[in-house]
Amino acid sequence: MSAEAPLRPAWLRALALAALSLALTVYAWSPMLAAYPHTSNGDGTMYQKILEAGRASIVRYHEFPFWNPYECGGYPLWDNPQGFAGAPLLWMVFLVNSTVTIYIWVITHVAFAFASMWLFARHEVKLSRAAAFVAAAAWAYSGFHQQHYAGGHFTFVPWVFFPLALLLWRRAENDVRHAVGLGVLVALMFYEGAVYPLPHLVLLLGAETLTRMCSPRRLPQILRAGVIVGVVAFAIAASRLLPVLDQLRQHSRPALNDVDAITWPTLKAMFLARQHGREVIGQQYVWTEWGSYLGPIVLTLGLLGIVVGGAETAWMAALVAFAFVLMCGHFAKWAPWSLLTAHVPPFKEMRVPSRFRATVLLLLAAYAGIAVDRLRLAARRWVRSRPWSGALQTLVLAIALIGVGDIIGVGIDTIPQFFTSPRLTEPEPAAHFYYGGPGLAGFLDQPAQNRGEISCYDEWGFGQGSHLWEGNRPQARATDDGAIVEAANRTQNTFNIDVVAQRPGARVLLNTVYDDDWKTNVGRTVNLGNQLAIELPVIGRFHIHAADRPRTFVAGAILTVLGIAGTIAFFVRDARRRRRAPTSVPPPENS
C-alpha cells in the first residue's frame, strides 16, 4: 500500500522512530509521572516489593537474588514463574529508586509497543507512514495497556512485543536472522516474567503458521525457523528457564475455578466505555481484565479495515476470528478456551480468557491503518477534482487522528486513579532479619527495613500455613532437647548456625519456608509442615551453612552465556559476510 521513500541513513530512521515513540508515550503517560512519588495500587505494590527484595539482596547482603524472605515466610525470587528479577531493564534500580524504575519500565515498554506496531505496519502490512502512525498509536495507547500497566500488572509488558514477534516470525521462514532475532525476543520476554504473554504468543504464532501451510514445500523452511527460534530462546533464557521449570515440577498453582464467558453488554463496553466501575456485571473478573478502549472512531475503522482489507490480509482476519473466539471464554463445552484449560498445559493452570483481547486489539489497530490507506486511496482514485480529493484524504486522516487522540485522552483521565498508594519511605533497617513485631513498616518498605511478614500476597507463596515465628528472636531453634542452638544468623539466601547435637537425628528448625533448593553442608534438609529443618546425622558440635540456590541455575547460566555468545557471533559473522558480498541496489524499504 505504501510507496513512500525511506529515510536515509538507517540510523536516522531508528532515531526518528525512537524519538517519536518516546515523546508520545511520555505525553500519554504523563499522569503517572505527575503522580510521583506515589506508587501503583493493587498488584503493582506486590511487584514493586519484589523489585525491592532484589535490590536488598544485592545491596545489603551482596547475594544474587535467589530467595525472597520478605513475604509469605519466604518464596523463590529468581525462579518465581511470574517474577521479573532477571529483566535487564530493572537493574537500573541500583541507580534510582524502585518507584522511578517502575515508571521507566512502563514508559519504555509502552514506547516499544508503538515502535513494534510501527515496524509491523510498515514492513509487513505495507501501510503509509500516516496509517502506520494510526495503527501504532491505537495499539500502544489502547485500554489494554492502560488498564494492565497502570493497574500493576507489570509482568504483562511483554505483550508490547507481539507485533514485532509476528513480523519476525513471518520473515523467519526465508531469513535465519529473523528466526534468531525472534529467539532473542522470546528469551527477553521470559526474563521479564511473561508467564501469561508467552503461551498466548505461542498460540498466535501457531495459528499464523497454519495460514501459510497451503503449500507443503514451505513446511521444511517453517520447521527450520521454529527449531532455530526454540534453540536460541532456550539457550539465552536457560539461566531462568531451567530453575522455573524445576519450580513448576515442585509446585502447582492452586486449582482455579475459571468459568468466565463474555456477555454482549461487556463486549460493547470493553471497546467503547470511557469509564467503568471496578465490578463487571455478569463477568467473573474485574474491569482491569476487560478494559480495551479503542473508541468509536478507531473501532469503526478497524472493522471497516477487515471488510476492505482484501485477500492479502485474509491471514489477519483469520487471526482476529481465532483470538476473538478464545477471548469469549467458556461459552460452551466445546469452546476453544474450555478445551485448552481442560487438556493443554500450561493453560490448565491459567485463567482470564479476556486477555486474548490483546491480540484482537493488535489486529484491529492494524486494520484501522488499512482502512485509512484504503479510504485515502479511494478518494484519490474516484474524486476527479484534485482539491476535493486532497481535502477528502486529509479529512480521513484527521478523523483517524481524532480517534487516536480520544484513546490517549481516556488514558490521561484513567491512569491517575491507579497511582495513589503511599510513597517509599526510608525506615531504619533492623540489625538482623526477622518477621513481624512492633513497628513493622508498610508492605512496600519491609525489604528496606530488613523485616518481613508471614502473610502472603503472591500466588507463588506455597508455604502458607507453616509454623514460623515472629519477633526479634533467633532465626533457628531446636525441635526438642536433642540439640542446642548456640548462634543463628541469616542473610537473604543463607543461614549460619552453631549447634550442638546431643543425639543422632536431632533436628533444627529454620525460620523460613521449605523449598527443594535449600541445601546444607551438614546433615540433610527436611520438610516439616512446609518449614525448613536440618536433621543432624551424629552427636557433636556443628557449624551449619544452609543456602538457597536453584539447583539448575549454574547449568542454565552456562547455557545462557553460550547462547548470548553464539548469537553475537552469528550476527557478527553475518554482517561480515554481507559486507563481502557483491553490492547491488537494495529494494525500497518502508520506515
Cell numbers linked to 60: 545489603
Same-domain pairing of 366 and 483? no
Whether residue 34 is contained in a domain is answered as no
pLDDT at 380: 85
**In the chain, pLDDT over 70 holds for what percent of residues?**
97
Q: Classify residue 59: in a domain, yes or no.
A: no
Which of 393, 418, 443 finishes a domain? 418
Q: Does residue 22 belong to any structural domain of this protein?
A: no
Interior angle at CA 470, CA 537 and CA 472, nearest 5: 90
User: Does residue 579 belong to any structural domain of this protein?
Assistant: no
Is residue 241 located within the same domain as residue 370? yes
CA 70 to CA 108: how far, in whole Å?
28
Using one digit for the tens of pLDDT, what is the confidence trace for 411-438?
999 999 999 999 999 899 999 999 999 9
Residue 56 has pLDDT above 60, yes or no: yes
Confidence of residue 257 (pLDDT cuts 50, 70, 90): confident
Flag the least confident range among 205-219, 241-255, 410-424: 241-255
- Degrees to nearest 5, angle at CA 375 with 373 and 380: 95
On average, the pLDDT of the chain sits at 92
Identify the domain boundary among 373, 394, 418. Answer: 418
**Is 490 found in the same domain as 387?**
no
Looking at the structure, do residues 158 and 238 belong to the same domain, yes or no?
yes
pLDDT digits (tens, 9 = 90+) for 154-203: 999 999 999 999 999 999 999 999 999 999 999 999 999 998 999 999 99
Q: Is the pLDDT of residue 3 over 70?
A: no
Structural domain range at position 523? 476-548
Last residue of a domain, one of 418, 434, 449: 418
362 lies in the same domain as 494:
no
Judge contact between 37 and 99, C-beta under 8 A: yes
Q: Are residues 152 and 266 in the same domain?
A: yes
- Shared domain for 407 and 485, answered yes or no, is no
| C-alpha distance from residue 382 to each of 251, 368, 386, 389 (Å) | 64, 21, 10, 8
Are 339 and 482 part of one and the same domain? no
**pLDDT greater than 70 at residue 584:** no
Is residue 253 over pLDDT 80?
A: no
Do both 277 and 135 map to the same domain? yes
- Residue 265 shares a structural domain with residue 400: yes
Find where cell 552469528 sits.
570
* In the predicted structure, residue 102 carries a pLDDT above the cut 50: yes
Structural domain tally of the chain? 2
Q: Decide if 196 is inside a domain.
A: yes
Of 445, 476, 121, residue with least CA distance to 302 = 121
Please check whether residues 380 and 522 belong to one and the same domain: no
* Confidence class for position 585, pLDDT limits 50, 70, 90: very low
Q: Specify which of 392-396, 465-469, 554-558, 581-585 reaches the highest per-range mean pLDDT.
A: 554-558
Q: Residue 35: inside a domain, yes or no? A: no
pLDDT score of 465 more than 80: no
Answer yes or no: is 213 within a domain: yes
C-alpha cell at 462: 506455597
Segment 273-287 mean pLDDT: 94
Query: How confident is the model over 452-465, as a mean pLDDT?
Result: 77
Q: Are residues 372 and 244 in the same domain?
A: yes
Do the domain assignments include residue 65? Answer: no
